[in-house]
Amino acid sequence: MNMNMNKEAYLAYVKQVTPASPLGKDLFFSFLVGGAICTVGQLFSHFYLSMNLGRDAASTATSITMIFLGAALTALNLYDDLAKVGGAGTIIPITGFANSIVSPAMEFKSEGLVLGLAAKMFVVAGPVLVYGILTSSIYGLVLLLMQRL
């Protein structure tokens, strides 16, 4: 092309003229929103512990509650509004995991309940399960070997 510029020079130029994400603002809001979601989780955890549920059961109940809240806010089309502000503060908590399951399921409902809604449900969250289970299984193998050796 007659722009007298090779690809590397062009990409460097593009980088220079493309505005960066506002890191300071993004950090502030991800901290605030992420912290707030976890504080809500802590409130539920406190409540379940006060019901004498025991540590493991209270932790499980908290996870279930947070997943329910994430799913409900997604279904009400509110979670994406929160995420616009919160960024990673809405993606990293388990509510974001629920959002990543519900949103494609809602979107692809138009392709049916089986190959649309259900098949697309884990299109974003599936990799979390895959690599979470994979790494924990490797850890289990290492643990077993260490026990036996």
Partner 1 sequence: MFLHELLPAFLTGGLICALAQILIDKTNLTPARVVVLFVSLGVALTALGLYDAVVDFGGAGATVPIVGFGYALAKGVEKGVSLYGPTGILSGGVAATAAGIAAAVVFGWLAAVLSTPTAK
Partner 2 sequence: MLKRTGSVTLLEEGPLVLGSSAVGGKKEAEGPLGGCFDFLYSDPRAGQKSWEKAETAMQDKAVSLALKKSGLSASEVDLLLNGDLVNQCTPSCYTASKLGIPLAGLFGACSTAAESLGLGALLVESGALRTALCVTSSHFCTAERQFRTPLAYGAQRAPSAQWTVTGAGAFVLGQGGGRGVRLRAVCFGRPIDMGVTDASNMGAAMAPAACDTFSRFFTDSSRSPSDFDLILTGDLGQIGHRIVSERMEQLGLPLGDRYNDCGLMVYDLQRQDMHAGGSGCGCSAVVLAGDVLSRMRAGTFKNVLLAGTGALMSPMSLQQGDSIVGVAHLVWLSCE
Interaction of residue 124 with partner 2, rule CB under 8 A: yes
Interaction of residue 114 with partner 2, rule CB under 8 A: no
Region 65-84 residues binding partner 1, contact defined as CB under 8 A: 66-68, 71-72, 74-77, 80-81
Interaction of residue 102 with partner 2, rule CB under 8 A: yes
Q: Report d(CA 53, CA 17) in Å as an integer.
A: 56
Region 24-83 residues binding partner 2, contact defined as CB under 8 A: 26, 74-75, 77, 79-80, 82-83
Q: Half-sphere exposure (CA, 13 Å, Cβ side) for 6?
A: 1
Region 103-132 residues binding partner 1, contact defined as CB under 8 A: 103, 105-107, 109, 113, 117-118, 121, 124-125, 127-129, 131-132
Q: Which of 86, 105, 31, 95 is nearest to 67 (CA)?
A: 95
SS3 of residue 28 by DSSP = helix
